[in-house]
Structure 1
Amino acid sequence: MKAVRLHRYGENPKIEEAAEPNLIGPWDVIVDVGAAGLCRTDLHIIEGQWDPIQHPHLPYTLGHENAGWIREIGSAVHNVKPGDTVIMHPLTSCGLCPACRVGQDSHCENASFPGINANGGMAQQLLTNARAVVRLDAGLQPKDVAALADAGLTAYHAVRKAADVLFPGTHAVVVGAGGLGHIGIQALAAITSATITVVDPSEAALELAAKLGAHHTVLSTTDDDVAKKVLEITDGGAHVLFDFVGEHGAELLAPRLLRNRGSHYVIGYGGAVNIPTIEIISREINVIGNLVGTYNDLVELMTLTAQGKVTLHTAVYPLDAALDAIADLTAGRIIGRGILIP
């Protein structure tokens, strides 16, 4: 089968022939990939940032945002059947460790992470397991939802965690209205009553944000200018700030946009949060990390998607054009999410 495989860090992956996956265990599932999302994490993987954490054996196939159709199932699988349309939770979890027992799939002690530390879905077929597959509503197609498997799930997970404190009269500030942020904006509009302010350096991204539910938009210029405008709009700062960038200075600006006792949700990554401890104490602000999301988060997100409350804005490429898509993402030419179609 054709696959996008990484051979060396710091170099572009190669589009080449790879062996088709085989069922190994009774809970295994093989999926004919209908679409695979392209994520900034893929750029970080190519750079080698994930090597110290996940230690994948090179070469391997990229792609951790995947949807398609069930091709083959193991002997113990009963929740899906061949032909079903599915989206995959990014991790193949075990179901037995303490994290799995409380529904925290992304912290499974025995998980594999296709596309991160195992062969992923930028290919014609993908090996996953029964705990990872979510059947899709009849009206949903893989190409329309694939990137929700990680980008959407991660954004929704953060919003879901904060939803209880985003009641009427509160202010949510979203930094970054790109691939993750444009989904986070929709999730905020769908499940919270907060007033939503979006900060981004792209006028096109801000126009999209306004259409998706943002009440206010702020063009990112200088940090001082952004801080002044956001503090005016929010009457003192965000109750919750969602940083979907996490690098290039966004992570340093974020604390300036919070009100006292506000929470900085870190979703994007690549930089470093640097807040003096005296400021954390005196302002009683919180810094909260967010890793992917739970299986139930993905089920809820698919429900919102089927209801038309969350839509994915995409740029579609054939699998053969994966390197073009990577170049476009690196250069910031993609609005929304890049999608690869085998």
Structure 2
Amino acid sequence: MRALRLTAWGEPPTQTEVEQPVPHGAEVLVRVEATGLCHSDLHVIDAPPGALPYRLPFTLGHEVAGRTLALGPDADGVAVGDRVVLYGPWGCGACDRCAAGRDNYCDRRDTLAWHGAGLGRDGGMAECVLVPSARHLVPIGDLPADQAAPLSDAGLTSYHAVAGLRHALEEGTTTVVIGVGGLGHLAVQILRATTPSRVLAVDVREEALALADRSGADFGTLVRADTADVLRKRSGGTGADAVLDFVGTTQTLELAAGILRPGGELAVVGSGGGRLTVSKPGVLPPGFRLSLPFWGTHPELAEVVALAQSGAIHVETEQFPLSAAPEAIGRLRRGRVRGRAVLVPD
């Protein structure tokens, strides 16, 4: 079968032919229908030797939806022909957190040579993907694959980040979303579907603000010299109750800290390498709380799928055949993807 594999650190991935896996034990073979392309894939591709614990080569792709094709003799809880989305973070499977479906916070994460599908283990940028256990699968029914695949990271990560702030997002509150791309546009929709908070959106691209508007944002603005003042006025003059930063550069972190009201919540989701100095006394608002949400839990993925099935959230996608993966990767690098890029088998 064809697969897009990382064979050398810092080099473009290679389209190649590999043997189709045969499931053993509790494994499940899934025929891929769609795979999302994420900025995390770029981080993996660009990583220098030794930066990640993964062993080369492996197939990329951690946002995967498809149909079960074959089962190992010990596979349980799934049948051949089921349509599923993969829960992407794969932990040790033995600690208390993994047992509770919280592989994203696996206690042994730092000791593993992988972090999930397409992250040290073969992923979904191929015709088929081998899943270690059916516990990593969530049923999607008749949800289109191009909608389901991005839910496993773009949707799940956004949902998990919002869930961590939901206690603070009562009627009359304001939430700011910085960066309205593959994750940010879903965060806007999830906020609208699960909280009464007013949603303000920030980006450097006019087309991203148009996407925020289509996603239900109450207001959107480009990053300018007066952006913090504009957002403060739009939040009633007191500042935002919460900020979700899907960029994570020093510029966006400073903007976030500058618009939070006292007791405000900042969730940093983007991996832009920025730094925020925490000092007391300092310039951060009193009562400021910071979280670094990572991916999400298995139960939350089921909740995200249910939201999509109800029509409450919709992923804006651009589809590319698997053979056009280099073009899709190039467009993602240049910030020219609208919403989420999704690869489908040719």
TM-score for the superposition, normalised by structure 2 = 0.93
Q: CA 1:124–1:329 in structure 2 vs 1: closer, same or farther (change >3 Å)?
A: same
1:251-275: per-residue Cα shift (whole Å, max 9, x none)? Answer: 2322112111111101111313322
Q: Distance in 2 between matches of 1:57 and 1:227?
A: 44
Q: Distance in 2 between matches of 1:188 and 1:49?
A: 36
1:279-306: per-residue Cα shift (whole Å, max 9, x none)? Answer: 3776221110111000011000000000
Q: 2:105 aligns with which of 97, 104, 107?
A: 107
Native 8 Å contact 1:183 1:312 kept in 2: yes
Q: Are 1:39 and 2:43 an aligned pair?
A: no
Query: Which letter does structure 2 place at the counterpart of 1:15?
Result: Q
Q: CA 1:276–1:143 in structure 2 vs 1: closer, same or farther (change >3 Å)?
A: closer
Provide the residue aligned with 1:59 in structure 2: 57
Native 8 Å contact 1:247 1:270 kept in 2: yes
- The structural deviation recorded for 1:112 is 4.5
Q: What is the SS of the residue equivalent to 2:164?
A: helix
Q: Distance in 2 between matches of 1:57 and 1:105?
A: 20
Provide the residue aligned with 1:3 in structure 2: 3
Q: Distance in 2 between matches of 1:51 and 1:9?
A: 9
Q: Distance in 2 between matches of 1:232 and 1:167?
A: 19
- The structural deviation recorded for 1:165 is 1.6
Provide the residue aligned with 2:19 in structure 1: 19
Q: What is the SS of the residue equivalent to 1:311?
A: coil
Q: Distance in 2 between matches of 1:70 and 1:45?
A: 27
Indicate the RMSD between aligned Cα atoms, in angstroms.
1.8
Percentage of matched positions with identical amino acids? 37
Native 8 Å contact 2:244 2:266 kept in 1: yes
Provide the residue aligned with 1:237 in structure 2: 239
Q: 1:135 aligns with which of 118, 136, 139?
A: 139
Provide the residue aligned with 1:71 in structure 2: 69
Native 8 Å contact 2:173 2:241 kept in 1: yes
Aligned residues: 337
Native 8 Å contact 2:201 2:221 kept in 1: yes
Query: Which letter does structure 1 place at the counterpart of 2:80?
Result: P
- The structural deviation recorded for 1:162 is 1.2
Native 8 Å contact 1:91 1:112 kept in 2: yes
Gaps of 5+ in 2: none
1:172-204: per-residue Cα shift (whole Å, max 9, x none)? Answer: 100011110000000000000101000011111
Provide the residue aligned with 1:28 in structure 2: 27
Q: Distance in 2 between matches of 1:292 and 1:204?
A: 26
Q: Distance in 1 between matches of 2:63 and 2:74?
A: 25
Q: Distance in 1 between matches of 2:153 and 2:50?
A: 19
Provide the residue aligned with 1:259 in structure 2: 261
Provide the residue aligned with 1:311 in structure 2: 314
Q: CA 1:198–1:149 in structure 2 vs 1: closer, same or farther (change >3 Å)?
A: same
- The structural deviation recorded for 1:212 is 1.4
Gaps of 5+ in 1: none
Q: What is the SS of the residue equivalent to 1:55?
A: coil
Q: Distance in 1 between matches of 2:78 and 2:91?
A: 17
Native 8 Å contact 2:257 2:284 kept in 1: no
1:150-189 correspondence to structure 2 within 5 Å: 150-189=153-192
Provide the residue aligned with 1:122 in structure 2: 125
Q: Distance in 2 between matches of 1:152 and 1:133?
A: 15
Query: Which letter does structure 1 place at the counterpart of 2:258?
Result: R
Q: Distance in 1 between matches of 2:83 and 2:297?
A: 20
Provide the residue aligned with 2:47 in structure 1: 48
